[in-house]
Chain A
Amino acid sequence: MASAAAAAAAAAAEWEAAARKVLVARKPCFGLPTACPNCLPVLLYLRMAQVPFDIHVDTSFPDADHIPYVEFGDCVAFNNEKGGVIEYLREEKLVDLNSNDPSASSADVLATKAMVSTWLADALLYELWVVTDGSVAHDIYFSDLPWPIGKIYQKASAAYEALSLRLGDEVFLFDNSRTDVDALFLGHALFVLSALPETSVLRGTLQNHDNLVNFAEHHKVQLLEASSSSGLGSSPGPSSSTPRKRASSGQSYKPKPRAKKERTEEEKKFRRRAKYFLATQLVAVLVFLSLMGGVDSSEFDDDDGMDYEE
């Protein structure tokens, strides 16, 4: 507990020390300072808390999960860490609007927050990506990208959205019976989820649709794995692969395990010495080979002899 308090204190000190905070968000459009539905709440939160900040527009990363983010001093609060920028600022007590009115029942606040961030947000996303012809999404996310990139991702996003709505809560895509479209999409989805790296844009976009991921998981268990648990995968059964994958499907950019970086000094020294040892061995072998074999380096000058005009 003391360590967490120390970390929070360090963050607060950095926040106070920062002369000017910077919010990096997507571009302004439609009369709004930022048109992206994820960035606008953060901007309004900072404005309501009367925190002075500058806005920097990011035009080249439409599929990033970490945007919007707030920079203060050398620290950064990303949107894909610790539940989001607003959550982080609130928990670290850097910018806490709710502290002004402690009488507001926290259950009410949480319930309303849940309603806004799921029901309303879903409808907004549906309107943004599916109902309109995609021109609004294009203006917000892709209009500043050079043309081939924007079109590719826009189309893929629209396709995933449409498929997600088509699938809904059913088992198969069309009228609850198998079709070849199921096989086609299942093949695509399994490949994207299993083979593409975590940083892949396409994989991130697909993982935004939970029902599509569940569809892929469920059918993978049924069709590909011998020991399978029945049902739509709601049981945390003995099959080891499924629970882990569902846990990671919610977030696209999981924080990389930090333990890898904190090697002890001894281990680093040991590794360095081992590298030197191996390199010396290799060089010794090569020297032996070259001394015994002898290398005729003159044969490499052959090309210089063919001097003629083109």
Chain B
Amino acid sequence: MAAAVDPAADQNPKDAELHENTAEVDAEFTEDEYDEDEEDDELDGPAAAAAAERERVQAVFRRLSSDPVGIRVHDVIIKGNIKTRDDLIEAEVADLLRAAPTVQDLLRAASVASARLHRLDIFEAVKITLDAGPPELPGTTNVVIEVVEATNPLTGSAGVYSKPEARSWSLEGSLKLKNLFGYGDIWDASGSYGWDQTTEVGVGVYLPRFKSIPTPLMARASLSSQDWQKFSSYKERLLGLSFGLLSTMNHDLSYNLTWRTLTDPSRASSKAIRRQLGHNLLSALKYTYKIDERDSHLRPTKGYAFQSTSQVGGLCDSKGLRFFRQEFDVRGAVPLGFYNAALNIGVGAGVILPLGRGFMNSSSSVSDRFYLGGHSSPVCSLSGLSSLLGFRTRGVGPTEARRLVPKESDSDSAASLGRDYLGGDLAVSAFADLSFDLPLKLFRDAGIHGHAFLTAGNLAKLSEGEYKNFSVSEFQRTFRSSAGVGIILPTTLFRVEVNYCHILKQAEHDSGKTGIQFSFSSPM
């Protein structure tokens, strides 16, 4: 029984009036069909009848905007799904709709439900209609959900994206097969080729909900190769399985099982890298907690963001890689009044510790360490711990001399010897970025803006007993830093940054260069 139509006598006069009004409105509801998406007035009959109809609808709107009008959802009817299972759609939206006590809430819930169903990415169109309930039950409504499934389940896409782990942007293509079994499952196969010869192929499956688990599940198998020959004298080949166990807006838990092979075809690596060549197995659980209250990802002007990533490796096997890795990242954006300017500040820190017996003297895995350097902008992505504008990728931190091959050249044999960048176990980086509009209206309309930045960062080695030599004052003293100005051009294909960087402080073997640099990142 609808609570609105309560014929109980012991009500004060205000309630009585309210109930009277709602009863009137309910009468409207039992007569009319209210369509959420469109207002479709039936214009049959003479103009007077049409005008009366319009007047009634106006009255409904007036009632709705003044007082809350009670309603109860009697039934949720799902139409139009041939392949998709009913319980999937019901599990997504039914509770939400049934919980709405008033018409206004129901309208809001309906728009949220429609967004949720669109987000499943398997329907072409979703239409939610509030129909009259059965005539013997006044004050109720039937919600009719009409879905149109995608006619072509196979979609393909290609694009240019930037990954924070890889050196630069990569060309990615993927094929998606949607809703193969009716569970809202999305199967995808993707391949990507990076500018730095990083290649990856993978297949994966995504399930929005599985039986009683309300969060989406994901599984992915991938084969990828990365080429760090120029920086650290090794190439990496990874064959991995990854399972996304829990994924909500703030939390993310995943399990990764990866077989990594490090080789050095040039046979010129330094001793530290040579000791790490070979096969290893990574079995790790990764938990990410993220809050992002900034108003935009590309050009934040207000808000804050925080991300914490924890990874524990070596779960099942004592012979796999065992370590604990923790990363923190804090951002904030403050708007300044003039020229649409904003000040972005961020600080990030990370540490990796080997676990197991004798962990104080064992070394950390070179693929899991922290590296600073690269052209990617620290403002946009949340995992900005690795970017330090002005320095080359992996261009900062502890290094070691490569293998010396006694050659015919008597002089310069030491100069031609390169150095391998080994990365650090402890990394700290910070940046401050002031973005502002350019004075020309032409630039403002196109979204082109300028920025001035200051970045700093440092890496330190803690494993293999080096933590005894670690001192905070020395760490602070050897902080590398750079400053500069630049212009950002957002285009449809990628986001281009042209920066002029000036290195303020660098250590002896760092590869930082004062000059103009380009950086490309994904437009999203």
Contacts and interface: CB of A to CB of B under 8 A. Distances in A.
A binds B: yes
Interface of A: 3-4, 6-8, 10-11, 14, 24, 56, 58-62, 64, 66, 71, 73-76, 78, 81, 144-149, 198-199, 201, 253, 255-256, 279, 283, 286-287, 289-291, 293-297, 300-301, 304, 306, 308, 310
B491 A148 contact: no
B248 interface: yes
Contacts of A8: 406
A151 to B, nearest CB: 12
A75 B406 contact: yes
29 contacts: A7-B406, A10-B406, A11-B406, A60-B277, A60-B278, A61-B279, A64-B278, A66-B267, A74-B404, A74-B417, A76-B274, A145-B281, A145-B319, A146-B319, A147-B317, A283-B496, A283-B518, A286-B493, A287-B448, A289-B491, A289-B492, A290-B490, A291-B443, A297-B298, A297-B299, A297-B447, A310-B214, A310-B215, A310-B248
A66 B267 CA distance: 9
Contacts of A291: 442-443, 446, 448
A61 B296 contact: no
Given A58-B278, A148-B281, A283-B518, A14 B259 contact: no
Interface in B390-444: 401-408, 410, 413, 417, 442-443
B112 to A, nearest CB: 5
A220 B86 CA distance: 57
B83 interface: no
B447 A4 contact: no
Nearest to A7: B406
B100 interface: no
Nearest to B277: A61
B403 A74 contact: yes
Contact of B446 (A253, A294, A304): A294
Nearest to B400: A74
Nearest to A15: B406
A75 B277 CA distance: 17
A291 B498 CA distance: 16
B359 to A, nearest CB: 17
The 10 A-B residue pairs whose C-beta atoms are closest, nearest first, are A60-B278, A61-B278, A3-B408, A10-B406, A74-B404, A146-B281, A11-B406, A146-B319, A297-B447, A290-B491
A74 B215 CA distance: 54
Contact of A4 (B279, B317, B408, B491): B408
Contacts of B448: 287, 290-291
A140 to B, nearest CB: 15
Interface string B437-471: 00000110111100000000000000000000000
A61 B442 CA distance: 60
A14 B279 CA distance: 31
Given A60-B278, A75-B404, A199-B235, A148 B259 contact: yes
Chain B facing A: main interface SS: loop
Contacts of B524: 300
Given A144-B319, A148-B281, A295-B492, A199 B404 contact: no
Contacts of B217: none
Contacts of B489: 283, 286-287, 290
A218 to B, nearest CB: 29
Nearest to B516: A276
Nearest to A144: B319
Contacts of B410: 6, 10
Contact of A81 (B248, B267, B413, B442): B267
B283 to A, nearest CB: 8
Contact of B408 (A6, A61, A199, A255): A6
A222 B317 CA distance: 48
Interface of B: 112, 115, 214-215, 235, 248-249, 259, 261, 263, 265-267, 271, 274-275, 277-281, 295-299, 317, 319-320, 401-408, 410, 413, 417, 442-443, 445-448, 489-493, 496, 498, 518, 523-524
Nearest to B303: A304
Contacts of A308: 112
A81 to B, nearest CB: 7
Contacts of B403: 74-76
Contact of B447 (A62, A199, A290): A290
Contacts of B407: 7, 10
Contact of B265 (A146, A256, A279): A256
B11 to A, nearest CB: 34
A208 B442 CA distance: 67
A279 B277 CA distance: 36
A199 B265 contact: yes
A295 B446 contact: yes
Contacts of A146: 280-281, 317, 319-320
A10 B414 CA distance: 12
A4 B410 CA distance: 11
B279 A149 contact: yes
B406 A60 contact: no
Contacts of A66: 267
Contact of A14 (B406, B496, B518): B406
Contacts of B404: 14, 73-75
Contacts of B235: 199
A255 B267 contact: yes
B320 A306 contact: no
Contacts of B518: 279, 283
A300 B298 CA distance: 9
Nearest to B403: A76
A198 B235 CA distance: 13
Given A291-B448, A300-B524, 9 more contacts: A56-B275, A60-B277, A81-B267, A148-B281, A149-B259, A198-B265, A253-B267, A283-B498, A297-B299
A289 B491 CA distance: 8
B419 to A, nearest CB: 11
Nearest to A81: B267
Nearest to A76: B403
